[in-house]
Amino acid sequence: MPPSAAASPAPEPSSVVPEPSPVVPEPSPAVPAATPATAPGTSPAEPAVAAPTGIPGITAAPVTDLVDRFATRTDRMMASEIRALFAVASRPEVVSLAGGMPNLAALPLDTLAAEVAELIARDGQVALQYGSAQGVPLLREQITEVMAAEGIRAHADDVVVTVGSQMALDLVTRIFCDPGDIVLAEGPSYVGALGSFAAYQAQVVHVAMDDDGLIPAALTQALDQLAATGRRPKFLYTVPNFHNPAGVTLAVARRAEILELCRRHGVLVVEDNPYGLLGFDGQTYPALRSADPDNVIYLGSFSKTFASGLRVGWALASPAVRDKLVLAAESATLCPPTFNQMMVSRYLAAHDWRGQVKSFREVYRVRRDAMLSALSTYLPDGCRWTHPDGGFYVWLTVPEGVDTKAMLPRAVRARVAYASGTGFYADGLGSRQLRLSYCYPTPERITEGVRRLADVLNAELDVLHTFGTPKRAAARLVDGGARRGPQAPSPDTT
Ligand SMILES: Cc1ncc(COP(=O)(O)O)c(C=O)c1O
């Protein structure tokens, strides 16, 4: 059966006039400490002032009025901690180990510039026009070849091109989740996925991981517990390869067991795999989708293997799910950008994209080595971290008593930024964890950043050894104990 969208005509420009979007979103300002504290649901500290508009006699509604009018689903839409940090973390004096920006220095920009010019000159009438909601057919064919590297055999009819895999995540959640529905997700999980789940008011139940990825016994327990209360999760969301943020990979031996468990409990699997081709030894792992095409929705992206700014990703799904995804995509964007898709398509056809991925891998491997070496050189005792064999991230657990979110403003003051762990959990866990990205800075900057981080951690530990954990320190301040000074013996210092 031909895909529904391939048959659907391109939208009539006269019937739908897309409004220009209001430029690039500004990163939220500054570090959390510098932001005026406003509890969710309360009024902002600023007084509500009605602003004048361009129309004489009309003033805009005060912000407080608008707050009451937002849909309930926006209550849990919050700027990610990572986004909030962007403004400060991108200052040149700060070593940012926070963001997950791909390192594009290895891209052949001159060649790409020539490709863009040729694309416009030769195919401009098509490239600059609306297209199919499902995506450019040739690109969908090529995507099936990309996925073959991880053992996936698929038909181009089942591929839906999206605006990055982030949009695919949004669409999948939109078509499956009603408010209150349960989604299983690794703990920790990719912050953008948690954002989509929150936007559709899904409830996340985290499943623990270890160095071999998602733990089957923990998944069994979660599924059994939910079944005992008559609840069935809509899907399991998992990043099996080079996990963001945990930096671990799901052991091959666990894959069949996880698929079997989900099938037995009637739970779909959403496999999000943007980093799968970035294994440092060139190794790839068999995609979950390759073993269970009917029960797995696979998400892929060109963001980490080509250019994130083109915003081209995809979903691969069985026909019934695919059709719903296409309908949802159509209502969100009409169609993904034709120009960007054709650019990716030309790139895949005319360039050694596998060779390019290989050089990306090499860039990231050198940076991973710099980070692991700096961590073992500088970090204080009691820290643990993962050892990624691909991807962008190391997940660090700090000694008990250190709160990584509270420490972040002090780290930024010491000119190093990271992503604190709580942002990667929907349930408030992660205060002893943080994510370090090694993808973007040079190896020298990574080493310097880790050295600064170690200084901040040591200062934090000094305070803890002197005053105890924050709770105990507060208790001592209340009873005057802290005035006894650091020399007084205490259970926390022994
Ligand atoms: C696990 C994971 N999924 C999805 C995405 C979104 O990627 P894209 O740029 O394709 O939207 C990211 C981006 O960092 C990611 O790490």
Residue 65's pLDDT band, with cuts at 50, 70 and 90, is confident
Average pLDDT across the chain, whole number: 85
pLDDT in tens, 271-325: 999 999 999 999 999 999 999 999 999 999 999 999 999 999 999 999 999 999 9
Q: How far is the C-alpha of 439 from the C-alpha of 434, rounded, in Å?
A: 16
Cα(161) to ligand 1 centroid in Å equals 14
Cα(15) to ligand 1 centroid in Å equals 33
Q: Is the backbone of residue 493 left (phi > 0), alpha (psi -120 to 50) or beta?
A: alpha
**Where is pLDDT greater, at 174 or 15?**
174
Cα(265) to ligand 1 centroid in Å equals 28
The CA–CA distances, whole Å, from 488 to 394, 463, 483, 494 equal 38, 14, 9, 11
Pick from 82, 160, 165, 314 the residue to mutate for probing ligand 1's pocket: most ligand atoms within 8 Å of its CB. Answer: 165
Q: How far is the C-alpha of 275 from the C-alpha of 436, rounded, in Å?
A: 16
| Residue 235 main-chain phi, psi, to 5 deg | -160, 165
For ligand 1, atom 6, which residue shows the shortest CA distance?
Answer: 166
Query: Is there an atom of ligand 1 within 6 Å of 196 CB?
Result: no
**pLDDT score for 490:** 28
For ligand 1, atom 8, which residue shows the shortest CA distance?
Answer: 164
**pLDDT score for 58:** 73
> Closest ligand 1 atom to the C-alpha of 165?
10
- Which residues does 161 contact at the CB level (< 8 Å), separation at least 6? 134, 135, 136, 139, 140, 143, 312, 313, 314, 336, 341
For ligand 1, atom 14, which residue shows the shortest CA distance?
Answer: 100
pLDDT in tens, 141-188: 999 999 999 999 999 999 999 999 999 999 999 999 999 999 999 999
> Closest ligand 1 atom to the C-alpha of 392?
16
Looking at the predicted structure, is the pLDDT value of residue 380 above 50? yes
Query: Is there an atom of ligand 1 within 6 Å of 239 CB?
Result: yes
Cα(277) to ligand 1 centroid in Å equals 14
Query: Is there an atom of ligand 1 within 6 Å of 164 CB?
Result: yes
**372-380 average pLDDT score:** 98
Looking at the predicted structure, is the pLDDT value of residue 194 above 60? yes
Looking at the predicted structure, is the pLDDT value of residue 7 above 60? no
Cα(331) to ligand 1 centroid in Å equals 22
Q: How far is the C-alpha of 407 from the C-alpha of 288, rounded, in Å?
A: 38
Query: Is there an atom of ligand 1 within 6 Å of 345 CB?
Result: no
Query: Is there an atom of ligand 1 within 6 Å of 274 CB?
Result: yes
> Closest ligand 1 atom to the C-alpha of 167?
11
Query: Is there an atom of ligand 1 within 6 Å of 303 CB?
Result: yes
Query: Is there an atom of ligand 1 within 6 Å of 272 CB?
Result: yes
Burial class of residue 428, CB neighbours in 10 A (0-12, 13-18, 19+): exposed
Residue 105's pLDDT band, with cuts at 50, 70 and 90, is confident
The alpha carbon dihedral of 142, 144, 145, 150 has a sign of: positive
pLDDT in tens, 329-339: 999 999 999 99
Cα(435) to ligand 1 centroid in Å equals 15
Cα(256) to ligand 1 centroid in Å equals 24
CB 181 within 8 A of CB 203: yes
**Where is pLDDT greater, at 200 or 489?**
200
The model's pTM is 0.85
**pLDDT score for 45:** 40
Cα(313) to ligand 1 centroid in Å equals 9
pLDDT in tens, 391-419: 999 999 999 999 999 999 999 999 999 99
The pLDDT > 90 percentage for the chain reads: 74
> Closest ligand 1 atom to the C-alpha of 308?
9
Residue 492's pLDDT band, with cuts at 50, 70 and 90, is very low
Cα(287) to ligand 1 centroid in Å equals 17
- Cis? peptide before 245, omega within 30° of 0: yes
Pick from 190, 243, 277, 305 the residue to mutate for probing ligand 1's pocket: most ligand atoms within 8 Å of its CB. Answer: 190
Looking at the predicted structure, is the pLDDT value of residue 37 above 90? no
